[in-house]
Structure 1
């Protein structure tokens, strides 16, 4: 299939230059000319131009100024500047800001200009091809995410039934009637349910939609503790929440962040520790919520602190999915939040989080 000629727009206030350019290159390219920046803009609005060549020294608007003015509205065409005099500062500024691809001195050399147009068009095609590939990848990724979400959602229904049966067996006093089989079924089911929930969190967090609503941190924290501490009554929670200021934020992502961090603080306690404690402190002002979650649990090795937010990272003591803290970091990125961590194997781990207030 023969590719259509490259569409080139040449802007110059000197009519003789326009005629000479068209005569030299009309056989190789599809040429359009304009004698002012305003006329060139009209051409751009009506035709899919791929390469723009503009003279620098034009009345009213210079070539550099014209290129800067179309950077947002027409970002795709590749721009070449023709200049008959030396203006180093203007050229350097235009090149540094990406406003021009190349500059050529006048009078131009036909071969040099031809090669520049050809290279500029190659750059244009590469830009368009890359954008199309990105769109294809985004579409494929979205389809994959939706597939994973659908499968995970469908898996939860029979899994919840299995967990329900185990609970009925416990209620009827038959949990230990078959050796360790029921305990094994419960353990495997709970672990699978945990993985599925993390997968669903990951999918929902990847969506760009934000849900801005008023957050009551005291109510939210109490709900999360009730949800995650029901199976571990040994942990003491010291809660200090100061929220005199109204806070607006993404309720889903904030719940995911706090849920993962609080559940980890409960989960990774030392089995030998008789005084398991989790400290939760939240200070809300008109700009942000400053959150501190501190435990006296297992702690994290210093060499692991930079890795704990990476996907699927698991330390020797980590029996989780390796997704929890990764999801926390991704959720914070979505809402422009920040997180830092300090840890000591003797004293436990402290997470400090800052979440902007959208009021």
Structure 2
């Protein structure tokens, strides 16, 4: 059931207050006040008051003066003044200065008030939507600033590495040195390629629509074993996979693969050097229409004060990080797009576990 609009009416004449409440109490939540202190008491109790009607001719303080105060304390409330013809000049001035949304002539009729309420409510909804869009735009500008800075900074690194390797290659004919130079170039190019892949994933997530299909997690597990098998073997890391799927699951496979690929890649990347028993575990369980992923490792772990920051764009939680700062941001974006959620638990020098829950479609 939709909650009724909250409307406050302030008038020093008790008969007007009683008449207003009697006329509109069935359609709206009506609050009445005979003076300014009583009005503020209602507003403190109900800061989400949608519309405020106030009589211009009030003892001690005019309606315009009251609205001038109240707009800074409760800016989202739409302000409507009730006034006689003799006060029109002051009212027009108040409208021009933005104190009030509109005025209604006294004596008012029910049609006048209903029309004012409908207009005020539309105005409030439009303003609320505009505020949301403004916030989204501000966030987009902020991310764009960080994006421009990070791209110029992070791409410059591998490009400088390639240029340095080329300069070294020009000054040597030694096959051994040349092999080392080529290895340096390859490392820089891989970093650059990873950055480009992450950028592509980032924009795909922002713009793409979901493509729902039946997902077989055993097939996905085989693909992930192929992707990370060589990395596990070369680095002497035990890659353990456990799949429990006894029911069909429908969703978009691409963002799910993005999530799994990034989290598993990080689990391999941030292992504790010198640990003879390195482990990365992937567990997937499909139950009651949802898929739960657990990716755990016994690597370097994450400091507690970094846990809430790791999903921010371009954030790096450790100096050991060679990433672009896109990976976990893309993971969180993909999970949100799938209406899922992610949890992280980590102990420094003991390891990290990411738990992801994705509902089926």
TM-score by length of 1: 0.59
* CA positional deviation for 1:277: 1.3
1:328 is matched with 331
The separation in 1 between residues aligned to 2:328 and 2:136, in whole angstroms, is 29
* Structure 1: 5+ residue stretches without partners: 1-64, 72-78, 163-173
RMSD: 4.4
Higher helix fraction (1 or 2) = 2
| Aligned 8 A contact 1:229 1:266 in 2 | no
| Aligned 8 A contact 1:212 1:248 in 2 | yes
1:216 is matched with 216
The separation in 2 between residues aligned to 1:288 and 1:132, in whole angstroms, is 31
Q: Within 5 Å, give how 1:195-344 maps onto structure 2.
A: 195-207=195-207, 209-233=209-233, 234-316=236-318, 317-344=320-347
1:102 is matched with 52
The separation in 2 between residues aligned to 1:217 and 1:352, in whole angstroms, is 16
SS in 2 for 1:86: helix
* CA positional deviation for 1:93: 6.2
1:86 is matched with 21
* CA positional deviation for 1:196: 0.6
The separation in 2 between residues aligned to 1:135 and 1:310, in whole angstroms, is 17
| Aligned 8 A contact 1:288 1:357 in 2 | yes
Deviations for 1:112-136, whole angstroms, at most 9, x for unmatched residues? 7945866326x95983994797599
Deviations for 1:228-278, whole angstroms, at most 9, x for unmatched residues? 443441222211111001001121111111110011111111231222211
Q: Within 5 Å, give how 1:103-252 maps onto structure 2.
A: 103-104=53-54, 108-110=82-84, 111=87, 114=91, 119-120=100-101, 124=123, 127=127, 130=130, 176=176, 178-207=178-207, 209-233=209-233, 234-252=236-254
**Aligned pair in 2 of structure 1 residues 185, 351: CA closer, same or farther (>3 Å)?**
same
**Aligned pair in 2 of structure 1 residues 279, 181: CA closer, same or farther (>3 Å)?**
same
Aligned equivalent of 1:353, options 349, 353, 356? 356
**Aligned pair in 2 of structure 1 residues 357, 186: CA closer, same or farther (>3 Å)?**
same
* Structure 2: 5+ residue stretches without partners: 10-15, 32-42, 58-81, 103-119, 163-173
* CA positional deviation for 1:215: 1.1
Q: Within 5 Å, give how 1:12-23 maps onto structure 2.
A: none
How many residue pairs are counted as aligned between the two chains?
259
* CA positional deviation for 1:80: 10
**Aligned pair in 2 of structure 1 residues 344, 128: CA closer, same or farther (>3 Å)?**
closer
**Aligned pair in 2 of structure 1 residues 237, 335: CA closer, same or farther (>3 Å)?**
same
SS in 2 for 1:272: coil
| Aligned 8 A contact 2:298 2:352 in 1 | yes
**Aligned pair in 2 of structure 1 residues 303, 216: CA closer, same or farther (>3 Å)?**
same
| Aligned 8 A contact 2:8 2:49 in 1 | no
